[in-house]
Structure 1
């Protein structure tokens, strides 16, 4: 089990995502290279809203604003790829009122980052489970940002790790039917997943204190380092990211060897 930080600040951090980020604390690092791919389970938006006496929608909006800030923090330390789990397939069972507002917020976030002309955005998940407006926003963002020069940003929306594996198995079965020479291997299976062409995450960060993957990137995160942060996602700061990276820098990744 990963020890949780004992000295986390109680402040909520800046509320304006376009404002200057707070100064990070000086933290020890033993590795010069940052993880190539960091995946985030951005958990705790609803609990943040309840704790602050705010509507649930405000919690989701604060969470989306913090994603806007965090992509800058990640780029600043040299992380090439980030994945953000914004909506699971289980989340689709929430009340229609909450879900409608959350989907709109995700759509706004997608369009905002795409409009910068900097990052490359990719959707992980099942578009058929999403309203047409959000599926269109994600598809357009992926198309228009494909040749941008900035880091890769993956939005996992309507995503389930189990469904990702099942969909890959179906693709493999179809290929096997079409060609008797088709060979099943870890490499060919990975290419059938929604993350084909992307590196597996080196580090998975989950906010809110929950210590489980909840079905997130089950195949891809098999050898990832896992860091569980006790703070709710809207309160996650640049200092929290630095703590996670300091934890990662002190790990010895042996990959079973």
Structure 2
């Protein structure tokens, strides 16, 4: 969700105003995705690298996260939206952690639509944490060292129990994925849009999904292998 700061700068506004507008877009896109038939949406809300930003901006971002969680919990429950998080959320402010625990607990039984917030997330950090947890499981005897399957190791990622992403959208014209779901995105399709996040809405999301639908996903196979066989008429 990139471009909040540039959106504000273009309008002569403080960066925090761009972030406030970005929070509004989160709500818009969350429910637009559901309307368009998407059953799971992950939003890269705060990376492990974002702590390097000016402290007043980091504090404002944490405040906006608290505001968002307080405001939207009733809506999540009403609309049966399950909330999950990925990342080192234990390092977030105590107030944010408490709100996250409440929202996750009150929505955990919902199955129709899932919103995943990547908070204090980084794919390299995730890999380190997963390797540490897997090594501990081997030492404890609950995993075997010679079980080198992806299926086994992936259970130790933050995303355990979640499907790999089909489509990753990067806003604001940047053409990199900035340490986001590097392992899980092995076969994802990518759409890069010049639209800044505060201006990203349902039409832009629908266009990205339409672009995704036009692509052929082969997963290492040939095009002929993945195409449905032609129907032979008698």
Question: How many residues are paired up?
Answer: 216
Q: How many angstroms apart in 1 are the aligned matches of 2:164 and 2:70?
A: 26
Residue 50 of structure 1 corresponds to which residue in structure 2?
A: 9
Task: Tell me if the contact between 2:40 and 2:113 (Cα under 8 Å) persists in the aligned partners.
Answer: yes
* Alignment match, 1:168: 130
Among candidates 214, 232, 238, match of residue 202 of structure 2: 238
Equivalent residue for 2:227? none
Higher helix share: 2
> After superposition, where does 1:19-168 map in structure 2 within 5 Å?
42-116=1-75, 117=77, 118-168=80-130
Structure 2 stretches lacking a partner, 5+ long: 222-234
Moved more, 137-146 or 160-169: 137-146
Partner of 1:37: none
* Counterpart residue number, 1:178: 140
Distance (whole Å) between structure 2 residues aligned to residue 67 and residue 184 of structure 1: 38
Q: Which has the higher contact order (CA 8 A, sep 6+)?
A: 1
Structure 1, gaps ≥5 residues long: 1-41
Aligned-residue offset at 1:141: 1.2
1:110-160 Cα distance to aligned partner (Å, 9 max, x none): 233322202100111102321111122222211111013541000001100
Aligned to 1:173, what secondary structure does the other structure show?
helix
- Give the secondary-structure state (helix, strand or coil) at the position aligned to 1:156: strand
Q: Secondary structure at the match of 1:162?
A: helix
Q: Alpha carbon RMSD of aligned pairs, Å? A: 1.3
Which aligned runs of 4 or more in structure 1 are off by greater than 6 angstroms?
none
The aligned residue for residue 207 of structure 1 is 171
In 2, the alpha carbon distance for the partners of 1:216 and 1:236 equals 19
Do the aligned partners of residues 57 and 249 (structure 1) sit closer, same or farther apart at CA in structure 2, a change above 3 Å counting?
same
> The residue matched to 1:135 in structure 2 has which SS?
helix
Paired with 2:69 and 2:192, the residues of 1 have a C-alpha distance of 26
Q: Distance in 2 between matches of 1:165 and 1:186?
A: 13
Specify the structure having the higher radius of gyration (Cα).
2
